[in-house]
Structures are given as structure tokens and as C-alpha cells.
Amino acid sequence: MRKVLFIGLGHMGSSLFKGILKNKKIEAVFYGYDTFKELQDKVINSVDRAKTLNNLEEIISIDINYIIFAVRPIDFDELCDNLNKLDLTNKTIISMVNAIEIEDLKSKFKQHQNLKIIRIMPNMNASIQKSVTAIAHSNVAKEELDFVIKMFESCGIVELIEEKNFATFTAISGCLPAYVFTFFKAITDYGIQNGIEKEKVFRIVEQSIIGSIENASNSGIELKDMIASICVPNGSTIQGQKVLEDNDFEQIIKKCLEQADKYSKPIK
């Protein structure tokens, strides 16, 4: 039986941990570890089948196969230093630490030859099993990769992405929920301010956004043509669209993504 360890049970780590454990078809034993023991106990006790790792040395005695790094970038170096004291032979490292590349991981574990490494980038929607998780890998056998893909498909969809594109993926997926929430907030705030009840506004805007995206994805029509088809002359849509265009709305979004992309790249 495979044994999987999550190191770091903060919001993102616990969302993935809980999402994966909801999938009863994943045949593995799952352990959780966090330096904040109150948080660790809270997460472990909230999930069936989860077990506690008391200290990192138990990675060896328990014979953990997959070690998932779900820590903050500020805690990454200390974690690597502690793990470097252990024999990581035949273990697979799975890292979701932002801006830490596979080569960075290899350099941290130089004494461990042929270390199996997988880099992932999920988003916060893992908490409702709607994440998009990117995966890049090095020295990983197909059977192991298939298992990892199956694990993270428990939390949404998985895309194999070339590592050189991870920063862009982070911008358009990992960071995207915050930008969507901002868009959602602006529209719902407007509806509420103009007299529609909050719950009703949320239903209206939610369905309108979801329906529009599904329509665009399934229509086979270019997005610019779909926009043009709604913006009929002298209609209300075109008046609002002109405001977006006059204020360079598309360019604002692209500048936002460029900044996120830039800060998702490792500092060399």
C-alpha cells in the first residue's frame, strides 16, 4: 500500500488533503504533518482515514513513498535542510511551493541521486473539487505519475504543463480565483446597491457568469464575434462595452496577469 505524506496543512494543503481523501478509490494511506500542531490536529481530526506524522524522522520508520511539500516559500529552505538528514532513496517529492523549480529541488537534495520529483500548481478551488492542477516532473516512472495524476484529479482536473510555462499557468489559474472574485464582487455590489437582495444577486450573477463561460467554450465561435453579436447598435450592452474599451479593460487584465506571471518566476 502506498503511503502519502502532506507537509503543510494550511489552506491550500488542507484543501488538497481533504479533497483527495474524499476519493475512496485512491488506494493509499495518508499522513499529515504541520509544525503548528493545533492546525495539524484540527485537519487530521476532520477527515476519515487520515493519520498523523509526529515528526519528520517517521518518514523513514513508516516508509513514506510520496512527500508533498505544501509549505510557504519562506519555510522551504528549512524543510529541505531537515529532510536532507534522512535517506530519501526511492521517495517521490511533490512540491507545490510557488516559484521553486525542479532544478531548485535537485540542488537542495544533491546527495540524493536520481531523486524523483514532481512539481504541481493547484488553485484554491481544490476545496470544492474544482481545482486546475498543473504537473511537471523529472525522473518519474509512468506508474508513479499516473498515481499522482489520479490523486489530484480528486480535486478537479489535471494538466501536464511544460515547466517553462508554470509561471504563466500560475497567473491564469493559480492566481485567477482572486481576480474572478474581484470581478464578481464589483457586479454583485452594483446589484445590491441598486436594490436587489444579496442572495438573489449572487444567484443571478453566478448563473450568468457560468452560463457565459460554458456558452463560449461550447459554441465554437470566436470570442470577439460572440461579443459583437451581443453588442447590437443602440443597445444597452454596447454602451457598457464602450466603457470597458475606453478604459482599456482587456489591457488592464493582461497587465494584471503579467505581474502575476512575473512574480511566479524564480528569482535568479
96 has binding-site annotation: no
Mention every residue, 6+ apart, whose C-beta is less than 8 A from residue 120. Answer: 94, 95, 96, 133, 134, 135, 148, 152
Q: Is 12 annotated as a binding residue?
A: yes
Pairing of strands 131-138, 116-121: antiparallel
Contact 205, 187 (CB under 8 A): yes
260 is an annotated ligand-binding site residue: no
Whether the Cβ atoms of residue 121 and residue 260 lie closer than 8 Å to each other: no
- Residue 148, marked binder: no
Q: Judge whether 9 and 46 are in contact, CB under 8 Å.
A: no
**Is residue 220 part of an annotated ligand binding site?**
no
The distance of Cα 256 from the centroid of its chain, to the nearest Å, equals: 18
C-alpha cell at 204: 443571478
Asked whether 17 and 45 are in contact (CB, 8 A), the reply is no
On whether 266 is known to bind a ligand per the annotation, the reply is no
Ligand-binding annotation for 112, yes or no, is: no
| 73 labeled part of a ligand binding site | yes
Separation CA 145–CA 152 (nearest Å): 11
Left if phi > 0, otherwise alpha if psi is -120 to 50, otherwise beta: which for 46? alpha
Please state whether beta strands 2-7 and 28-33 pair in parallel, antiparallel, or not at all (unpaired): parallel
Query: Binding site for NADP(+): what residues are annotated?
Result: 7-12, 70-73
Query: Binding site: what residues are annotated?
Result: 7-12, 70-73
